[in-house]
Structure 1
Amino acid sequence: MSGTPATTDTPIVHALDAVVGTGDPVVSVAPVRLDAPGRALPLDVRVSAPATGQHLPVLLFSHGNGWSLDGYAPLTAFWASRGFVVVQPTHLDSRRDGIGFDDPGFGQVWTERHADLVRIMDQLESIERAVPGLAGRVDREQVVAAGHSWGAQTVQMLLGARVLDSTGWAGEDYADRRVQAGMLLAATGIGGEELHPFAQEHFPFMNPSFTELTTPTLVVAGDRDQSKMSSRGPDWFTDVYTHSPGATDLLTLYGAEHSLGGIPSWEAAETTDENPERVAVLQRLATAYLRSALDPADAGWAKAIAALGETGAALGRIDSKRPGGA
């Protein structure tokens, strides 16, 4: 399983395949139920891993609002085929659970989302045992995290971002140093008066402080992503790159809207900009970034940047704040 339709037979995809390699068969098990005392509903996760290989790093994935452990296969299946143990929780805002905006408990879902990811890291041994043939093959010291939309906000908490209170004071530190690198896909930006009234009422976490986010992070944004939550334009989704010392790399995808070409699911209603080639490029660039973030000796990210510039410049660009640039 590669997670990519056959229609992505293009020069840039071939160039990036030369960087990240071909995929291995994937074993995926769901639901795996984890201990979650006090949670409103049981915590179920999907675990996807390559059928072979040793010293496999862990990739936590946090879904966008309303989704579940069954979403985002275009990304998660690909990453598993390239050597990651991908763990996807169903957060409390999932449509299958029915905790919507009008539910009395909705106001605390954002903290429960963060707690779900912490619970996963606390129970990696149990997760290994739940997947046939996986025990003893996971490197629990190598953990990265990625999320889309609300999931990106959830992950950025692990990376160090905080939430400003009504006085502008940065709130609780939710950072978890077990996470060595992160990737934020369509992460909402700075809040304040530019937030629309609905967001101000329902999403108190949309007032982030990024200055405390110091974990190495790749930010991915679409240059046509126009949110209904803010009066800002697509640049709103690049705020974390602008204001965070840890977010050193920014991938801008040209023509991409909030689904970035279709990452939640092929042909999903939320996908307004379906583009298999864009998704295929994102799959591979993300793989190269996360591998290099875990292993500084891995030159894959530099090679992927060069390939995009040489062969895929019409699809997007990478900016960097690192010494010497991207």
Structure 2
Amino acid sequence: MTDHIAIPARAGDALAGPLVSVAPVAFPSRDRPAELQVRLTVPMTDRALPIVVLSHGHGPSQYVSSLYGYAPLANYLAASGFAVLQPTHLDSATLGLRHADSPEAPLYWRSRARDVSSVLDHLGVLDKVIPDVATRMDTGRIAVVGHSMGGHTASMVLGAQPRDPATGHRVNARDERVSAGVVMAAPGRGGDALNPRAARDYPVLKDTDFTTMAPPTLVVAGDQDHAHHLNVVGAAWQTDAFHLSPGP
């Protein structure tokens, strides 16, 4: 992958100058089996900073699935003028909780969506860490970006509703403070598109309703990213959020 951090699409699109990254920042995490830790990455600028919450994937790598991953993307977004917040979700390989005796393990799908809202609930934590940055964060402009299982998380925050396999009920985790999103290589619909093994191991993926995902959303998928371990229909599966949601 080429690092395009210093190359704006048009003159003036990207901000000149260095970035500041602070981690870990501890956020309130009551009734959570591990502390909610977040990385903040921002440009050194006096401008107001729209907020991006970046949700990591569930992959097997040790540190990509945590606040320590996605540096090229986080840095690019920060260099483009955003305050980037990266929570470490409970399914991160760094925490060792994937095989815990918890009804949410191994994906912690419901907790992931709560993490995004919790970060936004407690932005005041940053007043004590980087007070100058905290005063410039634009809470009226918030987006969520997610990759892989993080894309599933972003979809939920944007309004998609999975069916809870334990109760059979739809789960609404929509956070109205989030006005736009980016969903990258995310799980698609369930049903007959899902690999039988994935349906057994990750039952929450059996049924996701994208018709309630209305905010503007960029859906990114690779045409060679077949994810055979998850689905039986091929790379197009990861475009379901685009085709099945009503939003622009």
TM-score by length of 1: 0.68
Out of 90, 101, 106, the residue aligned to residue 104 of structure 1 is: 101
CA–CA distance in structure 1, aligned partners of residues 113 and 164 of structure 2:
18
Structure of greater Rg: 1
Report how far residue 18 of structure 1 moved. Answer: 3.5
CA–CA distance in structure 2, aligned partners of residues 221 and 52 of structure 1:
33
Out of 63, 79, 82, the residue aligned to residue 81 of structure 1 is: 79
CA–CA distance in structure 1, aligned partners of residues 24 and 161 of structure 2:
31
Structure 1 counterpart of 2:58? 65
Percent identity between the two aligned chains: 38
Q: Deviations over 1:66-93 (max 9, x none)?
A: 4100100110011111110000011111
Structure 1 counterpart of 2:202? 203
Report how far residue 125 of structure 1 moved. Answer: 1.7
Structure 1 counterpart of 2:216? 216
Taking only aligned residues, the RMSD between alpha carbons, in angstroms, comes to: 2.4
CA–CA distance in structure 1, aligned partners of residues 3 and 215 of structure 2:
33
- Structure 2 gaps of 5+ residues are 60-64
Contact 1:24–1:82 (CA under 8 A) maintained in structure 2: no
Contact 1:47–1:131 (CA under 8 A) maintained in structure 2: no
Out of 85, 89, 107, the residue aligned to residue 91 of structure 1 is: 89
Structure 2 counterpart of 1:180? 179
Report how far residue 135 of structure 1 moved. Answer: 3.0
Report how far residue 17 of structure 1 moved. Answer: 4.0
Report how far residue 154 of structure 1 moved. Answer: 0.4
Structure 1 counterpart of 2:46? 53
Contact 1:53–1:83 (CA under 8 A) maintained in structure 2: no
Q: Deviations over 1:7-49 (max 9, x none)?
A: x99xxx67x2447234432110000000010001110000011
CA–CA distance in structure 2, aligned partners of residues 128 and 17 of structure 1:
33
Seen in structure 2, the aligned counterparts of structure 1 residues 179 and 229 have a Cα distance that, compared at 3 Å, is: same
- Structure 1 gaps of 5+ residues are 249-326
Match for 1:242: what amino acid?
H
Structure 2 counterpart of 1:31? 24
Structure 1 counterpart of 2:62? none
Aligned length: 239
CA–CA distance in structure 1, aligned partners of residues 145 and 222 of structure 2:
16
Report how far residue 108 of structure 1 moved. Answer: 6.6
CA–CA distance in structure 1, aligned partners of residues 204 and 127 of structure 2:
32
Match for 2:100: what amino acid?
D
SS at match of 1:224: coil
Structure with more helix by fraction: 1
Match for 2:71: what amino acid?
A
Report how far residue 54 of structure 1 moved. Answer: 2.6
Seen in structure 2, the aligned counterparts of structure 1 residues 18 and 63 have a Cα distance that, compared at 3 Å, is: same
SS at match of 2:203: coil
Match for 1:82: what amino acid?
S
TM-score by length of 2: 0.88
CA–CA distance in structure 2, aligned partners of residues 205 and 127 of structure 1:
33
